[in-house]
């Protein structure tokens, strides 16, 4: 049998101590132990991006990491980005642009986009970038490449790109 | 009080256009949008129940035979009494087909395909259940017989006689035609790949079972589940307020709901069963692969004289469903000589069933490739060829069309896409410099999809103003919103009919205790359940008119104010503190038989193809669609974007790969089965055309959920031809297949 | 997933000593290991978490002007590193052509090099696989494979190294620096690190029990034009059918030095010195690049059984074409201005 492990970490600014099976993934801990079900399980193997959360500010697949490895870390989930009454700019833009249909991939898309905008600001290049150095122009092709780790079967990609472009345009580089 | 309407004749009242709120057809945002964007919308697996146990299904690792023994020793030794193994004879062999309304084949001791669930391991946690499922030992006996290749001569096949169309003499027409095309296309199997895996949480209260699940059609699903469990349907309640995509995969009751219900009963606690992504691939429906033999012939002017479409598809032995590949070919083009047939091969692969737009999705694709080849053979523009073959009536059974916009979508699409810029000579033949790696080409295709109305009921309630809140309306039906926009569209219809702003209408869906609808599938959801909401509202309007003292026809409702017959009063006054409600009930009638009802689209694509590697990138894509009245231009557009994106996947990357030795699905995850990612999809353009179809339903709308995929892939492969001269007839057009086709062509 | 003991290593010594025991795995980014543990393909009895070891997440200049990349440097940080972007652009390009933004944020340098093949038969416990279970057979050879190897394979295994980063590191002559329990670590070239499958595809590297990659060392920048060309079944977020890393120095219309490594086609990043020698001093031409491809692919054999028509398989031809496309791309970029790089060509 698996001996339980205790992990202490910050989730959406609140300290949580979770005692659980060492096999518990960060995703299952969020969903099943803390009731933070905004992070979705689409494939459980890092192939769809529905489970994307921010780990110490960076986007990761929470399904592919073990909770016990994250003692002391800071996690932000979709619930930490905004609420229906106080949504983040991206959350509002996704609604405005219909960047969702079934909604299952949506929290992962928005978490991913939140960190992705920051990556663009830091000048990280992408596979779609013409050059590796200098500022990144947030063209639809750049946004699409950078968001390709988040599958959407409903086919909302053009709307997702528009929503993200809106936020980048509003907030400036 | 109810309002019932049967579509026995065209409904030309067109009442919706006379309403005053000004919402119908507009791009109202989905009311559930913010819940989805903030993660507060909850899906089946997220139902939390006190004391809930977790179940994991165990798969068959062989394609046939009988389960001789289930060995639980290793499991018991490792995990003790916490774990329960369920091999109940009521577990399903395959999920139910859409609208079956009865249990699918049951009994996990007989194996028909690799991946078939054989047992359920239940434990206090998911981690332990998953481990337990791995430790279960299953011994099989027998099972040497099996067929895995639909095209193998030894594989049994049967002709679906009822589908055969044989008019005139196609062979003779082909023989004397000025121009013809005669070739074979193949499309591989596809899966719906909805992002939410199949999940169910089941709990019992006495004899009453409640299951929170991911389902598209609760009315049918309730009967299927009850039948599978051997209990009365009245004792079953299904909940599916949010469903993370369906595309056909959640039409019928599936392994997880039955397994969870059995386990919950046996263990006296709520049980959750979620399929792993791999299980969704191999234990839920696939779209059959197809082999399609197309024959087209035409006279000098490009008028079709014959259409032949003879197809082979597959399914498990005993399954009735056969991908209806020739469905669209029955009426897409006029031609006096027609031969259409469908043959079903019996193979031991994952069960075949409905995946978005069964039939037309793959059938129109091959037909539209053949039309492109015919246009080239004749030497006329592909759009022009289609315009010369617009049918006057259904060419197979002579029924008049209800309304049809085929020519209009073709012309509008060509204009908007600047189609005239296309050079009919493939770029590769024009461009000699081998250093110009990327070759551009343009292609187009026609899209058609039959329209269906199904019986539906909905309840609409007008609630009086109270506590300072204004008059509100509630809509209730067991209809689902699988991303299609039901919440938006049904609220919108009620808001329009009752003269209320959107935010004052609440729609409740996805509960089998609510009035029954046909659910989401076959593109009939919005038209059917929307019509029932419309009828309920019509009944409420009649009562409001009576209270106001005018005829319903004179009544204007707007922003909570009723006006008519020289009276004008706020709804709050008319209701006088009371609630009024009505159930609307729509039934299909003679219009379904008397008219060919169909939706039309035209898609145009511009691609770049690497002459070196055969890689294809879609650079531009436009879809023009006509589907009767558009109820919500925003959600309709999104549905079309989705269909076009499916089309990109079908054209370029999606393919189920089966092992030839045991039929097992080799690429059973998202790393192996390539649905399009964001970078595969350019900023698609959608244009919706105005149309009214009085034969379809009282709202004069038609289904749009599947139209976008019906032939979409052909626009892309036709563009590949325009770039390279290559005819990819073996889908998908992956780099290797494009290179192979280029080698043949040049 | 089996139960396991979890140990958070304090330092390298603690890590290597603990991991020397049977059935123990190192874990860092976890993206590949947790994936395989969920499938039941990997069943370690103990995990040694090395992510808290100090000093392994740095990128530093070496004395000879090269670069030393700590094993815990994430793919994202490595691809975005200003020095890597400027001096080793093929490495940035290769990393950015792989996986997704999320995975690159988690995946580490050492873990990336040691990732397992994405052979679907390796990942399916119901299928015979010599890599997973020595002696059970290789079912992949009768299956519809697209991600299989055509070079360096054996009758026992046709699995390909699936990574992109390693292909660029291969072309850059990278070496891994290891730490070992109870003795000095060592330096291994990538050719030395990876074993070819032979009879024992389950032994994928020469690393000993408890031996851990602590860094990857790049020699001084090679200059020239860098190209990473990856052909896959969709535009992004897919493993390579074939990939090619090229570093080319072109002067006055002649190739002064050319290097080329292949990915997706062999159990390790694949180079052949004869192919590179053949380019030296030659002007670029179709004939030359054909010759380079011929040398690289001389031993290629496609052991997969592809599709219904029993065709010989596409991979050798696609590899040949990708080599030519990448080399021409490098030539064009060189002519268009020194130091340019290319990823997505279109």
Chain segment B18-72, per-residue pLDDT in tens? 999 999 999 999 999 999 999 999 999 999 999 999 999 999 999 999 999 999 9
Question: Cα angle at C260 between C257 and C264, to 5 degrees?
Answer: 175
Residues A76 and A94 in one domain: no
What CATH number is associated with residue A154? 1.10.150.120
- Domain stop point among B536, B563, B593: B593
* Measured distance CA(B315)–CA(B322) in Å, rounded: 7
Architecture of domain C225-336: 2-Layer Sandwich (3.30)
Q: Cβ of C344 under 8 Å from any chain A Cβ?
A: yes
Considering only the beta carbons, identify the residue of A60, A125, A148 that sits closest to C236: A148
Residue C340: predicted pLDDT: 45
CB B150 within 8 A of CB B289: yes
Q: Cβ of C185 under 8 Å from any chain B Cβ?
A: no
CB B462 within 8 A of CB B570: no
B567-570/B110-111 β-pairing: unpaired
**Cβ of B196 and A158 within 8 Å?**
no
C-chain residues within 8 Å CB-CB of A133?
A: 82, 85-86
Asked if residue B399 has pLDDT above 50, the reply is: yes
Residues B634 and B523 in one domain: no
C-chain residues within 8 Å CB-CB of B679?
A: 234-237
C261-288 mean pLDDT? 97
Label residue B396 by pLDDT band (50, 70, 90): very high
C-alpha distances out from residue A32 to A62, B272, B278, Å? 13, 11, 21
CB B259 within 8 A of CB B120: yes
What CATH number is associated with residue A55? 3.10.20.30
- Domain stop point among B544, B572, B593: B593
Considering only the beta carbons, identify the residue of B48, B126, B678 that sits closest to A160: B678
**Cβ of B659 and C144 within 8 Å?**
yes
Residues B387 and B510 in one domain: no
B232 in a structural domain: yes
Give me B215's structure tokens.
């389902």
Residue B143: predicted pLDDT: 84
Considering only the beta carbons, identify the residue of B134, B672, B679 that sits closest to C236: B679
A-chain residues within 8 Å CB-CB of C344?
A: 127-128, 145
**Cβ of B735 and C238 within 8 Å?**
no
- Tell me which residue range forms the domain holding A30: 4-81
Q: Which residues contact A110 (CB under 8 A, 6 or more apart)?
A: A78, A81, A88, A90, A91, A94, B37
A-chain residues within 8 Å CB-CB of B41?
A: 103
**Cβ of C35 and A45 within 8 Å?**
yes
> What angle do helix axes A106-121 and A89-96 make, rounded to 10 degrees?
120
Give me B468's structure tokens.
């300072």
Residue C336: predicted pLDDT: 78
Handedness of CA C41, C43, C48, C51 (dihedral sign): positive
Label residue C308 by pLDDT band (50, 70, 90): very low
Domain boundaries along the sequence of chain C = 225-336
**Cβ of B39 and A79 within 8 Å?**
yes
Residues B627 and B731 in one domain: yes
In this complex, the chains that touch C, judged by 3 or more CB pairs closer than 8 A, are A, B
* Measured distance CA(C20)–CA(C10) in Å, rounded: 15
Residue A63: predicted pLDDT: 98
* Measured distance CA(C176)–CA(C70) in Å, rounded: 10
CB B600 within 8 A of CB B626: yes
B706 is catalytic: yes
What CATH number is associated with residue B484? 3.30.365.10
Q: Which residues between 61 and 90 in chain B have a beta carbon less than 8 angstroms from any beta carbon of chain C?
A: 61
* Measured distance CA(A165)–CA(A143) in Å, rounded: 8
Quote the minimal CA–CA distance from B191 to chain C in Å: 17
Query: Considering only B370-374, B740-744, C247-251, C303-307, which range has the smallest mean pLDDT?
Result: C303-307
The 8-class DSSP code of residue B280 comes to H
* Measured distance CA(A124)–CA(B573) in Å, rounded: 62
Residues B457 and B544 in one domain: yes
Q: Cβ of A88 under 8 Å from any chain C Cβ?
A: no
* Measured distance CA(C325)–CA(B611) in Å, rounded: 9
Rounded to the nearest integer, the mean pLDDT of chain C is 94
Into how many domains does chain B fold?
A: 3
- Among all chains, which residue has been given the structure tokens 């609220």? B491
A-chain residues within 8 Å CB-CB of B30?
A: 95, 98, 100
A52-55/A74-76 β-pairing: antiparallel
The 8-class DSSP code of residue B380 comes to S
Which of A3, A170, A163, A19 is closest to A92 using CA atoms? A163
C149-158 mean pLDDT? 96
C-alpha distances out from residue A86 to A118, B36, B281, C120, Å? 21, 14, 38, 45
Half-sphere exposure (Cβ direction) of B206: Cα atoms closer than 13 Å:
3
* Measured distance CA(B46)–CA(B48) in Å, rounded: 6
C-chain residues within 8 Å CB-CB of B279?
A: none
Q: Cβ of A124 under 8 Å from any chain C Cβ?
A: yes
Residue A49: predicted pLDDT: 98
Residues A59 and A106 in one domain: no
Considering only the beta carbons, identify the residue of A5, A44, A127 that sits closest to C344: A127
Residue A4: predicted pLDDT: 82
Residues B668 and B566 in one domain: no
* Measured distance CA(C138)–CA(C128) in Å, rounded: 6
- Among all chains, which residue has been given the structure tokens 């409420």? B540
Residues A58 and A106 in one domain: no
Q: Cβ of B219 under 8 Å from any chain C Cβ?
A: no
Q: Where are the alpha helices (DSSP H) in A18-139?
A: 26-28, 78-81, 89-96, 106-121
A-chain residues within 8 Å CB-CB of C237?
A: 148-149
Asked if residue C310 has pLDDT above 60, the reply is: no
In this complex, the chains that touch B, judged by 3 or more CB pairs closer than 8 A, are A, C
Residues B472 and B437 in one domain: no
- Domain stop point among B574, B593, B612: B593
Residues B444 and B462 in one domain: no
B640 in a structural domain: yes
**Cβ of C325 and B610 within 8 Å?**
yes
Considering only the beta carbons, identify the residue of B61, B653, B664 that sits closest to C234: B653
Helix or strand or coil: residue B330? helix
How does pLDDT run across B428-482, given as a tens digit for each residue? 999 777 778 999 999 999 999 999 999 999 999 999 998 888 999 999 999 999 9
Q: Among B376, B412, B685, B706, which one carries the catalytic annotation?
A: B706
* Measured distance CA(B496)–CA(B559) in Å, rounded: 10
Asked if residue C343 has pLDDT above 60, the reply is: no
- The beta strands (E) that lie in B301-455 are given as 304-315, 337-346, 438-450
In this complex, the chains that touch A, judged by 3 or more CB pairs closer than 8 A, are B, C
Interface ipTM above 0.90: yes
Q: Which residues between 17 and 76 in chain C have a beta carbon less than 8 angstroms from any beta carbon of chain B?
A: 38, 40
* Measured distance CA(B249)–CA(B525) in Å, rounded: 16
Facing residues of C341 across strands? C226
Q: Where are the alpha helices (DSSP H) in B62-119?
A: 73-79
- The beta strands (E) that lie in B395-497 are given as 438-450, 456-463, 472-476
C173-195 mean pLDDT? 97
Residue C344: predicted pLDDT: 46
Asked if residue C342 has pLDDT above 50, the reply is: no
Quote the minimal CA–CA distance from C146 to chain B in Å: 9
**Cβ of C80 and A123 within 8 Å?**
yes
* Measured distance CA(B507)–CA(B524) in Å, rounded: 18
Residue C311: predicted pLDDT: 61
Considering only the beta carbons, identify the residue of A3, A124, A145 that sits closest to C236: A145
Closest residue in B to A4 (Cα) is B127
**Cβ of B242 and A21 within 8 Å?**
no
DSSP labels, C266-296: SSS-B--HHHHHHHTTPPP-HHHHHHHHHHH
**Cβ of B38 and A2 within 8 Å?**
no
Residues A54 and A98 in one domain: no
* Measured distance CA(B615)–CA(A114) in Å, rounded: 31
Residues B573 and B606 in one domain: no
Rounded to the nearest integer, the mean pLDDT of chain B is 97
Label residue C306 by pLDDT band (50, 70, 90): low
Handedness of CA B509, B515, B520, B525 (dihedral sign): negative
Closest residue in C to B127 (Cα) is C1
Into how many domains does chain A fold?
A: 2
- Domain stop point among A81, A107, A128: A81
Quick one: B448 exposed, middle or buried, by C-beta within 10 A (0-12, 13-18, 19+)? buried
The 8-class DSSP code of residue B92 comes to B
Residues B51 and B18 in one domain: no
Any long-range contacts for C334-339 (C-beta under 8 Å, 24+ apart)?
A: C334/C224, C334/C225, C334/C248, C334/C249, C334/C250, C335/C250, C338/C225, C339/C89, C339/C225
B-chain residues within 8 Å CB-CB of A38?
A: 38-40
**Cβ of A140 and B682 within 8 Å?**
yes
Residue C346: predicted pLDDT: 38
**Cβ of B670 and A47 within 8 Å?**
yes
* Measured distance CA(A157)–CA(A160) in Å, rounded: 5
Asked if residue B196 has pLDDT above 60, the reply is: yes
- Tell me which residue range forms the domain holding B636: 359-451+597-745
Quote the minimal CA–CA distance from B140 to chain C in Å: 13
CB A23 within 8 A of CB B127: yes
Residue B431: predicted pLDDT: 78
- Among all chains, which residue has been given the structure tokens 């299609």? B484
Considering only the beta carbons, identify the residue of A45, A55, A129 that sits closest to C38: A45
Residues B457 and B542 in one domain: yes
**Cβ of C101 and A112 within 8 Å?**
yes
**Cβ of C6 and A68 within 8 Å?**
yes
Half-sphere exposure (Cβ direction) of A61: Cα atoms closer than 13 Å:
30
Low-confidence ranges of chain A (pLDDT < 50): none
* Measured distance CA(B319)–CA(B398) in Å, rounded: 31
């Amino acid at each position: 049998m698996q001996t339980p492990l205790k992990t202490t970490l910050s989730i959406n600014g609140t300290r949580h101590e979770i005692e659980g099976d060492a096999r518990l993934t960060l995703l299952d801990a969020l969903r099943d132990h803390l009731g933070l079900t905004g992070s979705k399980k689409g494939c459980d193997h890092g192939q769809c991006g529905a489970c994307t959360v921010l780990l110490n500010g960076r986007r990761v697949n929470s399904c592919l990491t073990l909770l016990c490895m994250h003692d002391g870390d800071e996690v932000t989930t979709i619930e930490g980005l905004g609420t229906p009454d106080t949504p983040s700019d991206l959350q509002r833009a996704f609604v405005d642009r219909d960047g969702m249909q079934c909604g299952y991939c949506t929290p992962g898309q928005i978490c991913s986009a939140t960190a992705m905008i920051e990556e663009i600001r830091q000048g990280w290049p992408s596979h779609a970038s013409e050059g590796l150095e200098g500022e990144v122009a947030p063209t639809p092709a750049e946004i699409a490449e950078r968001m390709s780790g988040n599958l959407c079967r409903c086919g909302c990609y053009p709307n997702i790109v528009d929503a993200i472009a809106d936020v980048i345009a509003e907030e400036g580089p | 009080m109810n309002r019932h309407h049967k579509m026995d004749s065209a409904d030309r009242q067109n009442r919706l256009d006379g309403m005053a709120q000004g919402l119908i057809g507009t791009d109202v945002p989905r009311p559930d949008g913010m819940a989805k964007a903030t993660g507060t919308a909850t899906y089946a697996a997220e139902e939390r129940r006190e004391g809930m146990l977790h179940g994991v299904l165990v798969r068959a690792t062989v394609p046939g035979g009988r389960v001789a023994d289930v060995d639980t020793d290793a499991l018991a030794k490792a995990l003790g009494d916490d774990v329960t193994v369920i091999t109940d004879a009521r577990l399903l062999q395959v999920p139910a087909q859409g609208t079956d309304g009865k249990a699918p084949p049951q009994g996990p001791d007989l194996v028909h395909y690799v991946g078939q669930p054989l047992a359920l391991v239940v434990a206090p946690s998911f981690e332990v259940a998953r481990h337990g499922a791995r430790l279960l030992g299953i011994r099989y006996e027998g099972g040497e017989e099996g067929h895995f290749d639909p095209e193998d001569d030894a594989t049994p096949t049967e002709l679906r006689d009822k589908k055969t169309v044989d008019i005139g003499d196609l062979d003779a027409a082909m023989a004397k035609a000025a121009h013809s095309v005669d070739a074979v296309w193949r499309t591989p199997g596809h899966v719906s790949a909805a992002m939410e895996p199949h999940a169910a949480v089941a709990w019992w209260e006495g004899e009453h079972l409640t299951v929170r699940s991911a389902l598209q059609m609760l009315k049918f699903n309730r009967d299927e589940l009850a039948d599978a469990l051997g209990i009365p349907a009245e004792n079953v309640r299904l909940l599916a307020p949010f469903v993370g995509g369906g595309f056909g995969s959640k039409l019928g009751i599936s392994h997880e709901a039955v397994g969870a219900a059995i386990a919950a009963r046996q263990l006296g606690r709520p049980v959750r069963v979620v399929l792993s992504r791999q299980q969704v691939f191999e234990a839920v429906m696939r779209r059959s692969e197809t082999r399609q033999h197309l024959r087209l012939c035409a006279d000098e002017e490009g008028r079709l004289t014959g259409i032949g479409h003879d197809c082979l598809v597959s399914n498990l032995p005993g399954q009735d469903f056969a991908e209806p590949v020739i469905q669209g070919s029955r009426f897409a083009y006029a031609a006096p000589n027609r031969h259409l047939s469908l043959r079903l091969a019996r193979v031991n692969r994952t069960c075949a069933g409905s995946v978005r737009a069964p039939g037309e999705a793959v059938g129109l694709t091959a037909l539209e490739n053949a039309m492109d080849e015919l246009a080239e053979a004749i030497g006329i523009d592909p759009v022009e060829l289609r315009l010369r073959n617009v049918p006057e009536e259904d060419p197979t059974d002579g029924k008049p069309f209800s309304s049809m916009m085929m020519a209009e979508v073709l012309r509008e699409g060509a204009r908007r896409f600047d189609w005239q810029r296309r050079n009919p000579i493939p770029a590769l033949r024009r461009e000699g410099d081998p250093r110009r790696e990327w070759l551009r080409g343009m292609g187009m295709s026609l899209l058609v999809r039959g329209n269906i109305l199904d019986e539906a009921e909905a309840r609409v309630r007008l609630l009086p103003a109270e506590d300072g809140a204004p008059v509100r309306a509630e809509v209730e039906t067991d209809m689902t919103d699988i991303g299609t926009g039901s919440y938006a569209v049904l609220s919108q219809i009620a808001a329009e009919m009752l003269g209320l702003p959107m935010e004052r209408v609440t729609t409740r869906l996805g509960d089998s205790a609510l009035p029954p609808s046909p659910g989401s599938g076959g593109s009939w959801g919005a038209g059917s359940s929307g019509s029932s909401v419309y009828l309920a509202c019509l009944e409420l309007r009649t009562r409001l008119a009576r209270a106001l003292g005018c005829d319903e026809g004179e009544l204007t409702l707007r922003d909570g104010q009723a006006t008519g017959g020289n009276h004008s009063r706020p709804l709050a006054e008319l209701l006088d503190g009371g609630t009024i409600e009505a159930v609307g009930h729509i039934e299909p009638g003679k219009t379904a038989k008397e008219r060919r009802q169909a939706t039309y689209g035209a898609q145009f694509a511009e691609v770049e193809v690497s002459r070196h590697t055969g890689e294809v990138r879609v650079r531009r894509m436009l879809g023009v669609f006509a589907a009767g009245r558009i109820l919500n231009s925003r959600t309709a557009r999104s549905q079309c974007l989705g269909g076009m994106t499916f089309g990109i996947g079908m054209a370029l990357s999606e393919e189920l790969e089966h092992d030839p030795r045991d039929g097992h699905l080799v690429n059973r995850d998202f790393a192996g089965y390539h649905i399009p990612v964001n970078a595969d999809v350019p900023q698609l353009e959608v244009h919706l055309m105005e149309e009214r179809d009085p034969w379809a339903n009282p709202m004069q709308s038609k289904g749009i959920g599947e139209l976008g995929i019906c032939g979409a892939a052909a626009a892309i492969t036709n563009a590949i031809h325009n770039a390279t001269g290559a005819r990819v007839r073996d889908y998908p057009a992956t780099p290797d297949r494009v290179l192979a086709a280029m080698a043949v062509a040049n | 997933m089996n139960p396991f003991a979890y140990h958070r290593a304090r330092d390298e010594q603690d890590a290597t000593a603990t991991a020397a025991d049977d059935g123990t795995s190192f874990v860092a980014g976890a993206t590949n290991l947790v994936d395989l543990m969920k499938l039941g393909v990997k069943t370690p009895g103990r995990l040694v978490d090395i992510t808290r070891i100090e000093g392994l997440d740095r990128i530093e200049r070496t004395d000879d002007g090269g670069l030393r990349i700590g094993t815990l440097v994430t793919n994202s940080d490595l691809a975005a590193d200003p020095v890597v972007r400027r001096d080793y652009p093929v490495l940035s390009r290769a990393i950015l052509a792989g996986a997704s933004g999320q995975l690159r944020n988690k995946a580490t340098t050492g873990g990336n090099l040691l990732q397992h093949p994405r052979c679907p038969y390796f990942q399916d416990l119901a299928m015979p696989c010599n890599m997973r279970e020595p002696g059970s057979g290789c079912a992949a050879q009768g299956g519809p494979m697209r991600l299989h190897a055509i070079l360096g394979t054996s009758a026992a295994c046709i699995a390909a190294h699936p990574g992109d980063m390693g292909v660029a590191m291969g072309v850059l002559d990278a070496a891994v620096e290891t730490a070992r329990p109870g003795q000095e670590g060592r330096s291994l070239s990538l050719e030395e690190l990876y074993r070819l499958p032979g009879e024992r595809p389950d032994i994928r590297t020469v690393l000993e029990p408890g031996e851990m990659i602590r860094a990857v060392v790049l020699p001084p920048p090679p200059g020239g034009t860098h190209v990473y060309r990856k052909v896959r079944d969709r535009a992004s977020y897919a493993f390579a059918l074939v990939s090619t890393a090229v570093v080319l120095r072109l002067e006055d219309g002649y190739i002064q030095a050319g290097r080329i490594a292949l990915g997706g086609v062999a159990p390790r990043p694949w180079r052949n010195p004869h192919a590179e020698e053949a380019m030296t001093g030659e002007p670029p031409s179709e004939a030359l690049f054909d010759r380079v491809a011929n040398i690289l692919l001389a031993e290629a054999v496609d052991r997969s059984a592809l599709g219904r028509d029993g065709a010989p398989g596409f991979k050798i031809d696609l590899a040949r074409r990708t080599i030519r496309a990448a080399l021409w791309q490098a030539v064009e970029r060189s002519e268009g201005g020194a130091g340019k790089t290319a990823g997505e060509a279109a």
